[in-house]
Structure 1
Amino acid sequence: MLAMKSPVLKCATLALFTLTLLSGCAPEVGSEKWCKQMEDKPKGDWTANEAADYAKHCVFK
């Protein structure tokens, strides 16, 4: 097994592990939970894709 001696490698591994855990918890696009989450998120932080998906799935059902 690869020994993680480098602090950079340790941080990168931890970041990847954290992102993997968080991505598994995201609600499905278009679900009630996702629409509510988007309503709570500041509009300035939305991506173009999120705005389009919100309009498609939450506004024009």
Structure 2
Amino acid sequence: MKKIFVLSFSTLALITLTACEPKRGSEKWCKKMDEIPKGEWSLNDAGDYTKHCVFKQKPEEE
């Protein structure tokens, strides 16, 4: 029973934290990325930052 509780709590925490993330390519996301050291970025992060924050392309609607 304790394992089920821990697993449920962990899943809920992950969903909650993911829901608070700004949309990739948004102005808030660009500001957040400015605070993260460039060495910690993934290749996708660097490409999206360049596309959306440097060249100012609007993020695609999902």
Q: TM-score, normalised by structure 2?
A: 0.78
Following TM superposition, the consecutive aligned residue runs of length 4 or more in structure 1 with deviations greater than 3 angstroms are none
C-alpha distance in structure 2 between counterparts of 1:57 and 1:17, whole Å: 30
Size of the aligned set, in residue pairs, is 56
Residue identity over aligned pairs, in percent, reads: 46
Structure 2: segments with no counterpart, 5+ residues: 57-62
Partner of 1:59: 54
Letter of the 1:17 partner, please give it: L
1:12 aligns with 2:3: no
Over the aligned positions, Cα root-mean-square deviation in angstroms equals: 1.1
Following superposition, the deviation at residue 34 of structure 1 comes to: 0.4
Aligned pairs (5 A) from 1:28-47: 28-47=23-42
C-alpha distance in structure 2 between counterparts of 1:18 and 1:43, whole Å: 27
